Structure 1
Amino acid sequence: MTTRRGFLGTASAVGAATLLTTQAATGASAAPAAGITATDEKSARDAIRNVNAAMRTNYAALKSQLIKELSPVVVVQNNAVGGRFTLIHEGKQIETVDPVPEYFELAKSLAHIPLGVYSVIAPYLSDQVPNIPNAERIDPHDLDMIVFKAPGDQGWITPLNAYRATLNTAFTKLVTANLPADLETSCGTILREAMAFIDASVKARTFDMVSFNKFAATVYPAIRVNMTFAATAQINGLEALMKRWRALIGEKAWSDLYVTVLSIWTTADLNQASIIIRRTMNQAKVDTHLIDLPTVETPSDPIFVALDNLARIVQDNIAAEMVFNTDLKVADALKGEEDLLSDEILKQIGGTAPAARTAAFGRAPAGACPITGHTAAV
């Protein structure tokens, strides 16, 4: 970024970068100027570092105070039952609910059966990519890493039989679960075919990717039925909740609503809750006020993590326009996911900077949340 080149002085950016790289590679700094001792140099550099430390202290203090002012906010925690949703308004946690009907969880539970079988047998597969449809999509190196059991190892039989017993219990009780007729039928198909695959594999004391692929393809139409029921349940439950909360806080407050969606990385893109909830928001602001926060794992205090990150986003939105009002591209970077130096680095290595986005996510440090009173450990 052109605004960050000032610190390089009169040297060209490339020349200075080469100098800095050379010093880093040798692990040594340039010799102090005449009359300046190494102690003087260290003291001066520490003084420079202290400037940034003081900035961070001030930044953290502002963020801590801002958390208390964030309103209205909906925090979304993705979970196995369709999501937990919390409304925060005027400094208070108004309500936390799991609004999705129960058959969402039940439909997904049985749709996951092929993944459950795969999780047991994967280490015992052949490490050679077989001749199956779309085999070119399998990374041979990934396959080689996940197949870590020796050929002929029979260690899969006991855990697979145990899983089969769990499936059989669900199958025998399915009729009394009071599910919609089509969902009951699809669930029965998945359970029955899974037990048949397990029985055949255990009897033969062998299986391969081809036989598993055949089983998975057989149950896929039934899985699609389960997915349809799960999606309908989540849409209906979430939209009804948003409608009720909108009436509760009023149109004026709702028009400024922020929504933070916590999810693991593998579900952060096109997250199901984000897709549904964005339709209920102010469409003029949804692109900047609907914030997806991918996490490595579920945080112990998700409300604090969501608010802490949102406070960072809000204060950076204003800081960007005040600090970088002479360079809007850099301002957009501060407001977005792009690191401020990324554009400059790409220029120096001959790359092309991507378009800036509008929401920045920072890692939340531990601290007390004024809404929950808890301390987060991300």
Structure 2
Amino acid sequence: MSTRRSFLGSATAAGVMAGLVASPAAAEDGSGPSPAGGPGARRARAREAIVAVNSGMRSHYAALKSELITRLSPVLVVQNDARGGRFTLVHEDTQESLHPVGEVFELAKSVSHVPLGVFSIIAPHLSDRIPNLPGADRIDPHDLAMVAFADAAATDWITPLRQYADTLAAARRQLGRAGLPPELVASCAWVLDRALAFIEASAAARSFDIRSFEDFSHSVHAGIRTNMRYAAEAQIAGVRGLLRKWRARIGEEAWQDLYTVVLSQWATSELNQNSIIIRPCMNPAKVATHLIDLPAAEPLSDPVFVALDNLARIVQDNIAAELVFPSDRAAADALKGPQDLLADEILDQLGAPAPAPVPAPAPAPAPAPGTASYVAPAGAGRGTCPVTRTAPAPRQDGTPHGPGPR
């Protein structure tokens, strides 16, 4: 566990003045500075004085944010990753980071991603002819052309596909020694065996098509669903266990004000797996405003600082909105949310209809029988986080249940 004032101090201080708007120094026509006493120079100085107003605001705003970052508490920062998420608790002047999810999560998902691995190798060589597959009408021809950019007749996909097959074969040989539940071993073996068969047949024929790949991916779907079930169980157990531990440590009074920032890629930012688990463990009166899903384009080098920096903006904007625009609820809501303040005016001038309002977050699911939901401060951290799920229906064909690549 480390203190965070030293951890954040240099980063926040260095960032206070960064990104301020530069003042215009050249003449408006771009030909260079005007004579000192000319109309162009006077106009440039006037505009510099006006722009300085915004620069000053940004400087003071950054200073407030920099100080607020060191004071935010308690904050849970979740960085989604292949291991189920790196969780960091920031409380007062300390922070602790852990990976709470058991290894079964990563192992089950690793094998579940096999079809996506195969697809990534062969995709550039897919032709633009779409057979009569389910959902074929949902494929944008232009998107397909962007992905299938290589010569469909080329065979340079064979070598990387065989190399990937070597990786799959090594995993298949070691599968029985990994200490996994028998049902999970069976589903992983099914996926790996079907993938190896597809690769061997395609490489031997020096040919493949969308139909043959679809036949392969369909054949492993049941195994992947089984893997998803095991991965979800491991993630729920690990995350809930850690949250109970941290909740008891900081106490119910602090927990009811918990902020949570979940960092993820855009593709998983809605209904994010960790957000779903965390939501019912937070104070239901504040979860709509205190649970923040923050998409990021790439894995971050300093996820905790990025989370706290964005959270500081949100918190200070929430307060500023009600004090700066006390009589204009629409403007206040724009300042304290993801909407740009100019959005309504631009929509009006363009004659465009306003987008449908963002629906309010769904209420937390009802507690499962025998569990307790959020507990008031007297609960001393003993409340559990309710999670309900439906077991998959048994299959009639005897094939194992089984995960999509997320």
The 1-side partners of 2:338 and 2:359 are apart by: 6
* SS of 2:315 mapped into structure 1: helix
The 1-side partners of 2:336 and 2:354 are apart by: 16
Aligned to 2:85: 83
Aligned to 2:350: 349
CA RMSD of aligned residues (A): 1.8
* SS of 1:150 mapped into structure 2: coil
Asked if structure 2 preserves the Cα contact closer than 8 Å seen for 1:125 and 1:209, the reply is yes
Aligned to 1:226: 227
The 2-side partners of 1:310 and 1:317 are apart by: 10
Q: Give the partner amino acid of 2:62.
A: A
Does 2:261 align with 1:256?
no
Aligned to 1:365: none
Does 2:117 align with 1:116?
yes
Aligned to 1:209: 210
Asked if structure 2 preserves the Cα contact closer than 8 Å seen for 1:338 and 1:356, the reply is no
Among residues 39, 43, 60, which one is paired with 1:58 in the alignment?
60
The 2-side partners of 1:211 and 1:327 are apart by: 60
The 2-side partners of 1:72 and 1:80 are apart by: 25
> Could you give the per-residue CA deviations for residues 146-165 of structure 1, whole angstroms, max 9, x where no partner exists?
11211310101111111111
Aligned to 1:290: 291
Aligned to 1:327: 328
Aligned to 1:19: none
Q: 1:146 to 1:175 in 2, by over 3 A?
A: same
The 2-side partners of 1:357 and 1:61 are apart by: 34
Does 2:153 align with 1:152?
yes
> Could you give the per-residue CA deviations for residues 143-182 of structure 1, whole angstroms, max 9, x where no partner exists?
1111121131010111111111111111111111110111
Aligned to 1:374: none
Q: Give the partner amino acid of 1:201.
A: S
Q: Give the partner amino acid of 1:315.
A: Q
* SS of 1:293 mapped into structure 2: strand
Q: Cα distance, 1:126 vs. partner?
A: 1.0
Asked if structure 2 preserves the Cα contact closer than 8 Å seen for 1:332 and 1:356, the reply is no
The 2-side partners of 1:297 and 1:253 are apart by: 32
Aligned to 1:200: 201
Q: Cα distance, 1:312 vs. partner?
A: 0.5
Aligned length: 327
The 1-side partners of 2:359 and 2:346 are apart by: 18
Q: Give the partner amino acid of 1:69.
A: R
The 2-side partners of 1:198 and 1:356 are apart by: 45
The 1-side partners of 2:360 and 2:289 are apart by: 6
Asked if structure 2 preserves the Cα contact closer than 8 Å seen for 1:337 and 1:356, the reply is no
Asked if structure 2 preserves the Cα contact closer than 8 Å seen for 1:337 and 1:358, the reply is no
> Could you give the per-residue CA deviations for residues 53-97 of structure 1, whole angstroms, max 9, x where no partner exists?
00000000000000111000000000000000000111321x211
The 2-side partners of 1:209 and 1:288 are apart by: 45
Q: Give the partner amino acid of 1:46.
A: E
Aligned to 1:235: 236
Q: 1:227 to 1:356 in 2, by over 3 A?
A: closer
Q: Cα distance, 1:125 vs. partner?
A: 1.1
Q: Give the partner amino acid of 2:42.
A: D
Q: Cα distance, 1:351 vs. partner?
A: 1.9
Does 2:126 align with 1:125?
yes
The 1-side partners of 2:94 and 2:129 are apart by: 57
Aligned to 2:49: 47
The 1-side partners of 2:159 and 2:38 are apart by: 73
Q: Cα distance, 1:357 vs. partner?
A: 8.5
Aligned to 2:4: none
Q: Which runs of 5+ in 2 are unaligned?
A: 1-27, 31-36, 362-406
* SS of 1:85 mapped into structure 2: strand
The 1-side partners of 2:311 and 2:360 are apart by: 12
The 2-side partners of 1:117 and 1:271 are apart by: 25
The 1-side partners of 2:68 and 2:212 are apart by: 57
Q: Cα distance, 1:347 vs. partner?
A: 1.1
Q: Cα distance, 1:124 vs. partner?
A: 1.1
Deviates more, 1:285-294 or 1:146-155: 146-155
Asked if structure 2 preserves the Cα contact closer than 8 Å seen for 1:128 and 1:140, the reply is no
The 2-side partners of 1:155 and 1:191 are apart by: 23
The 2-side partners of 1:211 and 1:339 are apart by: 47
Asked if structure 2 preserves the Cα contact closer than 8 Å seen for 1:338 and 1:357, the reply is no
The 2-side partners of 1:295 and 1:195 are apart by: 34
Q: Which runs of 4+ in 1 moved over 6 A?
A: 356-359
Among residues 74, 93, 96, which one is paired with 1:72 in the alignment?
74
> Could you give the per-residue CA deviations for residues 178-200 of structure 1, whole angstroms, max 9, x where no partner exists?
10111111000000000000111
The 1-side partners of 2:139 and 2:353 are apart by: 30
Q: Cα distance, 1:356 vs. partner?
A: 6.7
Aligned to 2:9: none
* SS of 1:70 mapped into structure 2: coil
* SS of 2:220 mapped into structure 1: helix
